[in-house]
Structure 1
Amino acid sequence: MDSLVLNIGGEIGALVIHTGREMDLAEIELSPVGADHQRFHNQVHARELPDGIRHNAVFPHVHAGTYTVWRDSLTAHGTVTIAGGQVTDYTW
C-alpha cells in the first residue's frame, strides 16, 4: 500500500483528484480562481489501496481558497474549494 504525507493545518489543506487509469502520469494543473498565471501542478499516479488500484493526483499542501482545475492549458475542467486543515476530494 502507498503512503503519503499531507502537510495540512491552519490555512493549509490538501487536495486529492481522482481520475481513471487513462490519466496515469498526466499532469494536472491548479490555479487560484482569477489568477490563471499562478498555476502549479502534480502528476497522476497509480496507488495501491486496500480495495484495489486507484489513480489520483495528490496536492499535499494547498492554501485555503477556490481553485481552477485545468483540463489543458486553455480549458478549465472545474473549480474546487480547499478548506484549511482538511482533505478535499475532486473527481475528474
Structure 2
Amino acid sequence: MTAGHTHTHAHTLDDSMAGSVMLNIGADVGALIITTGPEWHGHEIEISRKGDVPEVRTHVAVRARHVSGGVRYTAVYPSLPAGAYVIWRNETEPAGTVVVAGATVTEIEWWPQP
C-alpha cells in the first residue's frame, strides 16, 4: 500500500506469459482482475479499500497477458482482503467501485482513456 502518493507514469513491461501470476486467495481474501484496452499497457491502476483514507492505495501495472485466443490487457491484484474497493481514474477522481469476495477471483472490464 502507498500513502499520500499516486503513480501516473507508465512502465516498460514485457508481456506476461501464461501461468506467470500466482494468486493468494482464501476464506477472507480474494483477487481482482481489471481488463482494459492496450492503451493502458504499462500504466498503473490504483485502488483503495472503500471507507479507508483515500490516500492509502495500492496499485499494479496493466500488462499484456497471452491467453488462449489472444492477448488481454489486465491489472492483476493477486491478494486483497474481501470488501468494497474504489478504482481511481486519477489522483482525485474515483471511477467506480468493485466488491472483492473471499476465495474468489473478481473480474471486471474498465475502458477509460489513460
TM-score normalised by structure 2 residue count: 0.78
One-letter code aligned to 1:81: V
Instruction: Say which SS state the counterpart of residue 22 (structure 1) adopts.
Output: helix
- Could you say which residue in structure 2 is the equivalent of 1:44? 62
Whose strand proportion is higher, 1 or 2? 1
Is the radius of gyration larger for structure 1 or structure 2?
A: 2
Deviation of 1:34 after TM superposition, in Å, equals: 2.3
Q: 1 CA distance for matches of 2:18 and 2:40?
A: 18
CA RMSD of aligned residues (A): 0.8
- Could you say which residue in structure 1 is the equivalent of 2:72? 54
Structure 1 unaligned runs (5+)? none
Matched length? 92
- Could you say which residue in structure 2 is the equivalent of 1:72? 90
Structure 2 unaligned runs (5+)? 1-16
For residues 39-75 of structure 1, the C-alpha deviation after alignment (integer angstroms, 9 at most, x for no partner) is 0100000000111011000000000000000111111
Which structure has the higher relative contact order (CA within 8 Å, separation 6+)? 1
- Counting aligned pairs with the same residue, the percent is 43
One-letter code aligned to 1:67: Y
Runs of 4+ in 1 over 3 A off after TM superposition: none
Q: Which residue of the other structure, out of 50, 54, 74, is the alignment partner of 1:33? A: 50
TM-score normalised by structure 1 residue count: 0.96
